[in-house]
Amino acid sequence: MAVYTEVSFEELERLLEQYDIGLPLSFKGIAEGIENSNFYLQTDRGAFILTLYEKRVDASDLPFFLGLMEHLAARGCHCPLPVKTTDGRSLVSLNGRHAAIVTFLTGIALRRPDAAHCAAASAALARLHRAGEGFALSRPNALGPKGWQPLADLIVGADGIEDGLTDLIQDSLAALVPAWPTGLPSGVIHADYFPDNVLFMQDQVGGVIDFYFACNDFYIYDLAIMLNSWCFEIDGSFNITKGQSLIAAYRAQRALSDDEITALPVLMRGSALRFLLTRTYDWLNPDPNALVRPKDPREYSKKLRFHNKVKHAREYGL
């Protein structure tokens, strides 16, 4: 369970005195996520999520995350909406942690989305990119190319996970950082647009959650993250039918420039490297207080090796 900081019912009652959301009926930890402590809260007025932001989250980023959700919700995106206290605050303190309550979204996160699901989620991503325009705050991508080498320097023992993993990481860094594109269309991106962060109601997207990696970066980089996380099968093969469906649905909502298309193979490698680095670090440095198992980095070493052989964006479905 992804709960690092416990909350007693008495502490919850004192917290809710700051809000006007009713009396608590049910309260339990959520066995999802790896960054924060999350709880499902049911009151006599509705359902909510209480999040306690753990030490890995920079407190200075919280106004960006919470403000972004408000901005997107106001523009028609189905995302959690921060609930404010009776004196107008979105951010509070609980058990020595910054905390926030957001609205609960109904829906199911699909483990094995098909091509139609990929298309629906991709169209929602494009709409999210458009809706993010005009957001007053900005946040650099801390896990972009400038952050890769410092993270790689903290990784010791990668070859114990997989033979040759250290060389794969270092060779990829040497090749990708100098080749990283500049000047592509950019704005607010989700940066963690995995299937478990998109909720479906039947075949339609009912909501997008977990904006705690959101930042300003290339829109096409967000699409690369999605292609990596939605279009590979369990055996490690890339499903080009899903890729075609995903890309076509995105382009129907937001056109891709020639420069974006040209850059896609490099961005696919970069997004695979980004998640390979964080997963490798987490695998080798598990939090002793966490009951959730770190995700296997070998999933992304396979994807990175696949991308190293790709020569043109059409191999992803363009």
The answer as to whether 108 is a domain residue is: no
Residues 231, 182 share a domain: yes
Is the pLDDT at 2 greater than 60? The verdict is: no
The answer as to whether 110 is a domain residue is: no
Give 291's pLDDT tier (boundaries 50, 70, 90): low
Residues 271, 172 share a domain: yes
Structure confidence at residue 36 (pLDDT): 85
Structure confidence at residue 241 (pLDDT): 97
- Write the CB contacts of 246 (distance below 8 Å, at least 6 apart in sequence): 115, 118, 119, 121, 122, 223, 226, 227, 230, 231, 317
Residues 200, 83 share a domain: no
What average pLDDT does range 6-18 have in this prediction? 93
The answer as to whether 2 is a domain residue is: no
Residues 155, 59 share a domain: no
Q: The domain containing residue 30 runs over which residues?
A: 9-103
Is the pLDDT at 298 greater than 70? The verdict is: yes
Residues 132, 262 share a domain: yes
Number of domains in the chain: 2
The single-letter DSSP state of residue 301 is H
The answer as to whether 196 is a domain residue is: yes
* pLDDT tens digit sequence for 147-167: 999 999 999 999 999 999 999
The answer as to whether 3 is a domain residue is: no
Residues 184, 162 share a domain: yes
Is the pLDDT at 200 greater than 50? The verdict is: yes
Which of these, 224, 222, 221, 196, lies nearest to 210 by C-alpha position? Answer: 196
Cα–Cα distance for residue pair 67/226, rounded to 1 Å: 23
Q: Give me the CATH number covering residue 97.
A: 3.30.200.20
Residues 14, 71 share a domain: yes
Residues 269, 157 share a domain: yes
Is the pLDDT at 174 greater than 90? The verdict is: yes
Q: Looking at 58, 79, 103, which one is the last position of a domain?
A: 103
Q: Looking at 103, 125, 147, which one is the last position of a domain?
A: 103
Structure confidence at residue 21 (pLDDT): 97
Cα–Cα distance for residue pair 102/100, rounded to 1 Å: 7
* pLDDT tens digit sequence for 17-70: 999 999 999 999 987 656 788 999 999 999 999 999 987 788 899 999 999 999
The answer as to whether 276 is a domain residue is: yes
Structure confidence at residue 1 (pLDDT): 38
Q: Give me the CATH number covering residue 181.
A: 3.90.1200.10
The answer as to whether 1 is a domain residue is: no
Residues 305, 156 share a domain: yes
